């Protein structure tokens, strides 16, 4: 009997050993690298193609899959909501990140989307680190990855802008790092560091004092002038001026500009945001993160968010048709190649999913396209629209403080006053909307009550509805006529964004690396809210909490 039991035990152990040997590990990438280029139009890839290197944008197109018709499917199209949505898959209507800033009806103040005064700066003695994602009411990819891996995955976010690091980093990130204009260092928040200092690799990078080196470097054209056929003449009336400059032309003496701004009380390193050097700092920090955190070497996949912010600042000042915009993209192309080379040498591109998109696009300067012959394109003053709203409400309901705030083409009414007077909110909103529709520069005005109750699936109102958060959005949502841009004060240079038109919604989407078809194009229209579910699918995990869209076609393979 004992012999039989021993034989049976041996057979069972042998079977278990064979089973263990045949156990197949789950196939998925070792790391996800998500790149967001601030204010990048889709057509920058095609416009600047001839001057790109083979190792940046062209590499992503040739070695990966290109989506030629990726759009934001909500408005407003701006940085805070864009970064939140790319990484969470959630409309602003669900995420709470309704704009870069919005009127907080509880406190009675305009608030910034990531400011959190309960937090302290880590890495400097100033206020730039008082940030957290507490206003984002949904999870994102990093959050889901941290939960499903039982905290064994690393999630890191790097950007020049605070909101472009905090919102992609999410609630559970191991670190989110952004640039401090006063010190020239990368900093973080006590929300992420939780009583600790900056990681050793961040401190080591800061000790190199790269910002102090780059601020002394003039911004010259990367190539000879005849290479810049995709932009108009350098000296034109559509571009803004750096402090102290008489013309918006190359070369730009960054060191002298920094000194002038410092004398005016501005941060010493703030000028770097409007140069390619800010992007260089960002890519170097991303490389330091890969090496310092040993990303892509752990048992579970890691995640790195890299957001290039300086393209947005340059676009706002100089507009899409400028040599400055063309030059910063030619340099960004080389900076991407630098990042890809680091990925090749550390984790290996075949083990990594890299995606690249934008948080929004941007319009051409209104005066520029007006001069070309598109007569509807003009600048409209935001002050005039606010005054028009106040006037009609004063006339109908009596003199009072009817408007509490204005931001991003949204007007916030004084709801406390409306309630005190016993007025119907929907009626007051409609009164103001009807008056604003008389303005020749306004195409559409939607009220918050209309958007929340209406079943809009197409057109302007569908985009506005997806962007309308019941607590953080305004009472009135304006859509200007095509080509019309908002003007505050006397400035009519550079450009802006946030509209429902294609020039603000159409952005690139490129994927490359692990299990991504090579050299493929997808021409059907797809939505920015499909990115997060697609990446979650690649990682074989649950999509973020409010990511309701299907995965993108073609790029989710058999693995």
Active-site residues: which are they? Answer: 79
Q: How far apart are CA 414 and CA 333, in angstroms?
A: 47
Nearest to 450 by CA among 423, 471, 477, 472: 477
Q: How many helices (H) and strands (E) does the chain have?
A: 22, 19
Q: How far apart are CA 157 and CA 155, in angstroms?
A: 7
Q: What residue has token string 């630098």? A: 338
Q: How far apart are CA 38 and CA 36, in angstroms?
A: 6
Per DSSP, the residues of 443-501 read EEEEEHHHHHHS---SHHHHHHHHT--TTTS-SEEEEEPTT-EEE-TT---S-----SS
CA atoms in the 13 A half-sphere facing the CB of 198: 22
Q: How far apart are CA 246 and CA 528, in angstroms?
A: 40
Tokens describing residue 55: 């190792």
Alpha helices in 347-439 (DSSP H): 366-372, 382-397, 415-420, 425-436
DSSP β-bridge partners for residue 442: 480
Query: 3-class DSSP state for residue 542?
Result: coil
CA distances for 409 relative to 147, 150, 151, 317, 479, angstroms:
37, 42, 40, 20, 7
Q: What is the 3-state secondary structure (H, E, C) of 292-312?
A: HCCCCCCCCCEEEEEEECHHH
CA distances for 383 relative to 390, 464, 507, angstroms:
11, 22, 30
Do 299 and 286 meet the contact criterion of CB atoms below 8 Å apart?
no
> Torsions phi, psi of 438, nearest 5?
-75, -15
Tokens describing residue 2: 């004992």
Tokens describing residue 463: 């985009």
Question: What distance lies between CA 235 and its chain's CA centroid?
Answer: 30
Nearest to 522 by CA among 172, 71, 143: 71
Angle made by CA atoms 434, 437, 441, in degrees to the nearest 5: 165
Per DSSP, the residues of 189-249 read EHHHHTTPPPPHHHHHHHTT-HHHHHTTS-B--SS-GGG-TTS--SS-TTS---TT-SSS-
Q: What is the 3-state secondary structure (H, E, C) of 110-171?
A: EEECCECCCCCEECCCCCCCCECCCCCCCCCHHHHHHHHCCCCCCEEEEECCCHHHHHHHCC
Alpha helices in 323-381 (DSSP H): 323-346, 366-372
């Amino acid at each position: 009997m004992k012999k039989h039991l021993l034989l049976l035990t041996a057979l069972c152990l042998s079977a278990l050993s064979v089973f263990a040997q045949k156990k197949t590990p789950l196939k998925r990438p070792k790391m996800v690298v998500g790149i967001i280029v601030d204010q990048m139009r889709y057509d920058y890839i095609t416009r600047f193609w001839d001057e790109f290197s083979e190792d940046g944008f062209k590499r992503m197109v040739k070695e990966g899959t290109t989506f030629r018709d990726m759009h934001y499917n909500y408005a407003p199209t701006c940085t805070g909501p864009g970064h939140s949505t790319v990484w969470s898959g959630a409309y602003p209507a669900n995420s709470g990140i309704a704009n870069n800033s919005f009127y907080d009806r509880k406190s009675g103040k305009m608030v910034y989307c990531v400011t959190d005064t309960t937090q302290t700066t880590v890495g400097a003695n100033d206020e730039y680190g008082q940030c957290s994602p507490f206003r984002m009411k949904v999870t994102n990819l990093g959050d889901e990855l941290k939960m499903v891996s039982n905290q064994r995955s690393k999630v890191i976010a790097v950007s020049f802008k605070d909101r472009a690091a905090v919102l992609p980093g999410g609630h559970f990130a191991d670190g989110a790092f952004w640039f401090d204009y006063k010190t020239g260092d990368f900093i973080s928040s006590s929300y992420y560091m939780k009583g600790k200092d900056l990681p050793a690799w961040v401190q080591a990078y800061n000790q190199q004092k790269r910002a102090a080196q780059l601020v002394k470097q003039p911004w010259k054209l990367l190539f000879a002038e005849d290479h810049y056929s995709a932009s108009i003449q350098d000296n034109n009336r559509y571009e803004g001026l750096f402090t102290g400059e008489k013309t918006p032309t190359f070369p730009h003496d960054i060191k002298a500009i920094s000194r002038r701004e410092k004398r005016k009380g501005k941060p010493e390193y703030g000028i770097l945001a409007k140069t390619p050097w800010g992007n260089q700092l960002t890519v170097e920090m991303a490389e330091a993160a890969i090496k310092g955190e040993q990303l892509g070497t752990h048992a579970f996949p890691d995640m790195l968010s890299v957001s290039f912010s300086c393209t947005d600042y340059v676009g706002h000042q100089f507009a899409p048709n400028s040599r400055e915009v063309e030059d910063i993209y030619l340099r960004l192309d080389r900076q991407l190649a630098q990042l890809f080379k680091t990925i090749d040498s550390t984790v290996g591109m075949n083990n990594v999913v890299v995606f690249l998109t934008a948080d929004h696009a941007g319009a051409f300067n209104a005066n520029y396209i007006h001069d070309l012959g598109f007569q509807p394109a003009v600048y409209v003053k935001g002050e005039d629209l606010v005054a028009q709203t106040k006037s009609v409400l004063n006339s109908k309901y009596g003199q009072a403080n009817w408007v509490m705030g204005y931001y991003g083409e949204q007007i916030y009414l004084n709801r406390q006053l409306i309630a005190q007077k016993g007025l119907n909110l929907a009626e007051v909103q409609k009164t103001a909307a009807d008056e604003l529709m008389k303005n020749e520069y306004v195409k559409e005005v939607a009220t918050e009550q209309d958007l929340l109750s209406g079943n809009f699936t197409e057109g302007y109102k569908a985009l506005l509805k997806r962007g309308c958060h019941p607590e953080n959005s305004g009472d009135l949502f304006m859509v200007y006529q095509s080509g019309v841009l908002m003007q505050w004060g006397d400035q009519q240079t550079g450009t802006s964004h946030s509209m429902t038109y294609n020039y603000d919604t159409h952005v690139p989407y490129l994927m490359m690396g692990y299990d991504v078809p090579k050299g493929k194009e997808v021409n059907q229209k797809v939505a920015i809210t499909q990115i997060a579910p697609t990446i979650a699918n690649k990682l074989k995990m649950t999509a973020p909490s409010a990511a309701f869209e299907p995965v993108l076609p073609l790029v989710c393979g058999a693995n």
